[in-house]
Amino acid sequence: MSSADAIAVSGVTHSYGDVTAVGPIDLTVPPGEFLVLVGASGCGKSTLLRLIAGFEQPTTGTVLTNGTAPVPGRGAGLVFQQPRLFPWKTVGGNIALALRYAGRPVTDERVDDLLRRVGLHDVAKRRIWQISGGQQQRVAIARALAVENPLLLLDEPFAALDALTREKLQDDLRQVSASTGRTSVFVTHSVDEAVFLGSRVVVLTPRPGTIALDLTIDLPRTGIAADELRGLPEFAALRAEVGHAIRDRVTV
C-alpha cells in the first residue's frame, strides 16, 4: 500500500450476522484506474463497493480512500442500477441539486458542462419522467461526476437497460472515463462489459468473495472505435480468460 493509492483495501472481511459476505481481500487501486469487479450474483460485489463508499464498515481490516476513511455520500460519486433521480425535476435541476449537495457552486455553465459530458445538453429542460431509461442513467452518471472527489463507484448501472442502449452507454462511459481520468470501480456480472470497460478486471470467487483473478487489460483506451475494439483478437482472449476464471469457481 502506498499513500498515493486512491483506494486501499487491507485485510478486509465483511459479515452480515454470521454470514461472511466478502474477504479476506487486499486490493489497492492507483489514481486513474478503471477497475471492474466481476463475479457471480451474491459473491459480495455490492458489499465491497459499499465498503469503499463508506456505507458499510469492515468487520476486520481497513478501507482507505485517498488516504482517509471514506465518508458516506461525500467521498465518491455513486451510480446504481436504478438511477434514483427526482422525477418531477428537470434534468438540469437534478444536476444542480447534486452540485449543491456536493458543496460546489451551482452555475448554468457547470450544469451544462456535466450534461455535455454524457451527451445530454439538449435535454436539460426536460423532466426526468419525459426522458428514456438510458438517458436517465446518463443523468445519474453526470450527477456522480458533480462530486469533486475523483472516485466514481458504479454498481451494475446498465443492468436494467436493453442491449443496444447498454452498448451505447458502455461506449460513452469508456470515453468519459478516458477524458476525465476518474478513478472508478465498476461492478458487473457481464464478462464482456468488464473487459470492454476495465483497465483492470478483478474476478471474485463465490461468497465469501475473495480475489480469484486480477488482470490488467492492456487494450487501447483511446483512438479506437468500440466495434473495432470488440473485434480485436486480444479482446476475445481476455474475455475468455475472465470467463474461465468465473466459471472455474462457480458450482451449480
Ligand X SMILES: Nc1ncnc2c1ncn2[C@@H]1O[C@H](COP(=O)(O)OP(=O)(O)O)[C@@H](O)[C@H]1O
To 10 degrees, the CA torsion angle through 240, 202, 168, 101? Answer: 170
Number of residues counted as binding ligand X (CB under 6 A): 12
Rounded to the nearest 5°, which phi and psi values hold at 50?
-65, -30
* Residue 107 interacts with, from ligand X, Mg ion, none (CB under 5-8 Å by kind): none
Q: Closer CB to Mg ion, residue 46 or residue 65?
A: 46
Nearer to ligand X, 19 or 252 (CB): 19
Selection from Mg ion, ligand X, none that 41 binds (CB < 5 to 8 A by kind) is: ligand X
User: What cell does 46 get?
Assistant: 455490492
Backbone angles phi, psi at 162, to 5 degrees: -70, 160
What region, left, alpha or beta, does residue 182 occupy, with left being phi > 0 and alpha being psi -120 to 50 degrees?
beta
Q: Is 205 in the site for ligand X (CB under 6 A)?
A: no
1, 11, 30, 41: residue in contact with ligand X (rule CB under 6 A):
41
- Strands (E) located in 92-245: 151-155, 183-188, 200-204, 211-216
The C-alpha atoms of residue 201 and residue 204 are separated, in whole angstroms, by 10
Of 11, 16, 107, 228, the residue at the interface with ligand X (CB under 6 A) is 16
Instruction: Determine the Cα–Cα distance for residues 81 and 79; give it in Å rounded to an integer.
Output: 7
Kindly state the smallest distance separating residue 22's Cβ from ligand X, in Å: 7
Quote the least distance from Cβ 43 to ligand X, whole Å.
Answer: 4
Q: Does 43 bind ligand X (CB under 6 A)?
A: yes
47 binds ligand X (CB under 6 A): yes
Nearest-approach distance from CB 105 to Mg ion, in angstroms: 34
Interface residues with ligand X (CB under 6 A) are: 16, 19, 21, 39, 41-47, 207
